[in-house]
Amino acid sequence: MKILLCTNGTPCAAQALELGVYIARMAATAVDILVVVECAQEKPHPLAEATAAELKATGIPVTLYQRAGRMADEVVLQAQAAPYDLIVIGSRGRRGVLRLLMGSVALRVVEHAPAPVLVVKGRARELGRFLVCSSAGPMSERTVQFAGRLARSLGASVTLLHVMSQLPLTETAFLDDLEASAEELIQRGSREGLHLGRMLDLLAEEGQPGCAVVRHGLVRDEIVAEGRRGQYDLVVIGAHVTPGLNARIVDDLTAEILLAANRPVLVIY
């Protein structure tokens, strides 16, 4: 796995570097470190150089880059210049008026980078428990497969989360399914049960066993609530990219989860 670690010298970027080193030690074949500065004459941040030296000492090839400009723009440009398997970036967690005025660097990177993006929020932590969110469609397969490979590399456990509506979506919907557990849905062979069974099989194919959980309600609220209830270290979601109005709706959901979660979020493409 080739990883891009990004920093501009801020405290949240330092947390991202710390978590990036943790992942790189167990999963990386090569690491690039991007330092974004305000002017081209500025010297690289000492922490970036120390991080590069630390990783090189473990035998991991490291290349240090420096770009002058806006953080989000330079990260996306670097991500487009080389094939990365994972991009790690910090988030200040701006909300409300401040976010509207200054924007979100993490959201802009997630929207435009051509690779999975790990948005680091809060204190750096070992990633021992993954919460992987799944829904119907090929995006969930890619999300589960990537999460399974990463979890296996880090020695982490995986819980699959599927959020169901509290209301029947069709006249033929089986009402008991709206209150069923994941195990019950799988045993019944319902549509959601078949999906969860397929996702668990994909994890097994990656050599990473997992378990499944179902919650009922609004997707964003239930993902955030389960992340806190289970004390997961990482929330993994898929970014669905579809044309037209649906793309805007899905992008909004991804943004809402990123802003609401109080722990690192990995967005898979």
Segment-wise mean pLDDT, segments of 10 residues, the chain, 269 residues: 95 93 97 91 84 96 95 95 95 53 73 93 84 85 96 97 69 59 90 93 96 92 92 89 47 80 91
What are 53-69's pLDDT values in tens digits? 999 999 999 999 999 99
CA neighbor of 51 nearest in space, from 117, 92, 3, 115? 3
Whether 4 contacts 64, CB under 8 Å: no
**Predicted local distance difference test score (pLDDT) of residue 43:** 76
**Predicted local distance difference test score (pLDDT) of residue 143:** 95
Tokens of 118: 């790990």
**Predicted local distance difference test score (pLDDT) of residue 223:** 94
Phi and psi dihedrals of 262, rounded to 5? -110, 30
Nearby residues of 263 by Cβ (< 8 Å), 6 or more positions away? 121, 122, 125, 227, 232, 233, 234, 235
Instruction: Give the separation between CA 88 and CA 160, rounded to whole angstroms.
Output: 23
Q: What is the dihedral of CA 13, 14, 15, 21, to 10 degrees?
A: 110
Give the domains, in start order, of the chain with CATH numbers. Answer: 2-120 (3.40.50.620), 129-268 (3.40.50.620)
CA neighbor of 182 nearest in space, from 208, 209, 168, 163? 163
Nearby residues of 123 by Cβ (< 8 Å), 6 or more positions away? 15
The dihedral of CA 92, 235, 245, 269: what is its sign? positive
